[in-house]
Amino acid sequence: MEFLDLPYHAVRTHLGRDLSVEELVEAYLERIGRTDEVVRAYLTVTADLARAQARRWDARIRRGEDLPPLVGFPVALKDNLCTRGVRTTCGSRILENFVPPYDATAVRRLVEAGAVVLGKTNLDEFAMGSSTEHSAFFATRNPWNPEYVPGGSSGGSAAAVAARSALGALGSDTGGSIRLPAALCGVVGLKPTYGRVSRYGLVAYASSLDQIGPIARDVQDCALLLQAIAGKDPLDSTSVEVPVPDYASFLRPEVRGLRIGLPREAFGEGLHPAVREAVLGAVQVLERAGAEVEEVRLPTLEYALPAYYLIACAEVSSNLARYDGVAYGYRSPRAGDLYTLYARTRAEGFGPEAKRRIMLGTFALSAGYYEGFYRKAQQVRTLVRQDFERCFERVDLLATPVCPTPGFRLGERLEDPLQMYLVDIYTLPVNLAGLPAISVPCGFWEGLPLGMQLIGRPFDEGTVLRAAYTYEQITGGSRKAPPLVEEAR
């Protein structure tokens, strides 16, 4: 169906004229049926819910009512976002049968804005991972080549958008978990400023780093999704009372005078030549359009990775302590006394990556090591943030790769956690500093998509979107569909 190839802002003009919401949703459900046996993006498909929502919007369209901005937008939701009456597993056996009694604020806002929920997407367990191979249920595959990973931990959401089995999606980003899969799947992913989007109803991984954000076919759809979910939420004390601008007003192909910084440390040793060439080529496109490009320094970049994993794992050990088989979630049937209940429930319920991070975090917080590890990591975090602040005194944006290499094969890095962690080296400093950043497609290597990251000042998502939109308009964006999609037509 030709509508499946269009972004939402193009489909929207057809709704109520030559296309109903129900027809659009049925087309996406059919596409899920054709592609998801291979891609395995979805953990739960909510077909009945989607059809009911679609019929309600069609009825309102027929009555000529005023309609919200995202009416009929078929979306997928990462399965660590609470959804009332729909199970939320977090990719973990320990929450396999958890059905929340409420919606996350971002989900509620999206539905109120008109979105139709197609289902819940796969993820690394509790969003811990960079490949979506650490799900307790199955690995998700990259629609561009099913032998490769889609990136993680929001790999299910990015793969669904790339495979045309959702028009847009929500993910969560703790160290790059929206931007990395967006880059490896050839779609657009935005991590907003920490505090821009409510985290209420997002099952916590690392609370000081987590942020919900959109994944979409293009920058304009990404801006529409962000507009719907952004803003202060009284249910989340970490959401910030900062006015939400009209992001559509930033979508103009104009970067004349915009200053873009290239951090020297982001283009050094370890960067794959194809990635370097693609990102520098994309920056040259913006430079020819009128942007001013200069080299800047981020000297603490090399220390961000160990600091991030100490802080994230420390918060994991605290946040996941609640899953003990007493209050909710999985409970071991072999439990005897209380200690055995705790030990067996957690041993049987968590996967190996979750256990690894819980142990690392517990060690870092333990007596005698707190000062030497956790406190030092927090001090490094401050230095990383100060590095970014110094850069933004000279430039408006920073441009870097998203991932140091092109996509990698399934299983290739599972036995080497350090190599897996290094995948996030360009994205996790952004989370430590709480900044907004976007991943936009900027080329291919051997049939696999590559991505460029644009990083902005706090709460300046508008400038980030403007630069990404300009690049997309000049280059035509990523209109090419994965071979899998062509075969499913």
Phi, psi of 290 (to 5 degrees): 120, -5
104 Cβ contact list (under 8 Å, min separation 6): 81, 82, 83, 198, 200, 201, 202, 212
Contact by Cβ (8 Å): 264, 296:
yes
Q: State the chain's maximal CA–CA distance in angstroms.
A: 70
Please confirm, yes or no, whether 177 is among the known catalytic residues. yes
Angstrom distance (rounded) from CA 204 to CA 312? 11
The encoded tokens of residue 254 equal 């104009």
Catalytic residue among 153, 165, 198, 478: 153
Side chain identity, residue 88: T
Q: Is the dihedral of CA 440, 383, 210, 114 positive or negative?
A: negative
The encoded tokens of residue 311 equal 């802080």
Angstrom distance (rounded) from CA 388 to CA 386? 5
Contact by Cβ (8 Å): 92, 126:
yes
Phi, psi of 41 (to 5 degrees): -80, -30
Angstrom distance (rounded) from CA 336 to CA 9? 57
> Which residue is associated with the tokens 């050094």?
268
> Which residue is associated with the tokens 């958890």?
98
Angstrom distance (rounded) from CA 9 to CA 387? 38
Catalytic residue among 20, 78, 157, 439: 78
Catalytic residue among 177, 239, 439, 478: 177
Residues in the chain: 489
Sheet holding 448-455: strands in order across? 42-45, 116-121, 74-78, 168-172, 212-216, 188-191, 437-445, 448-455, 397-401, 259-263, 292-296
239 Cβ contact list (under 8 Å, min separation 6): 195, 196, 197, 198, 199, 200, 231, 232, 233
3-state secondary structure (DSSP) of residue 60: helix
- b/e 202-237 (16+ beta carbons within 10 angstroms → b): bbbbbebbbbbbbbbbbbbbbbbbbbbbbbebeebe
Helix (H) or strand (E) holding 45: strand 42-45
Residues marked active site are found at: 78, 153, 177
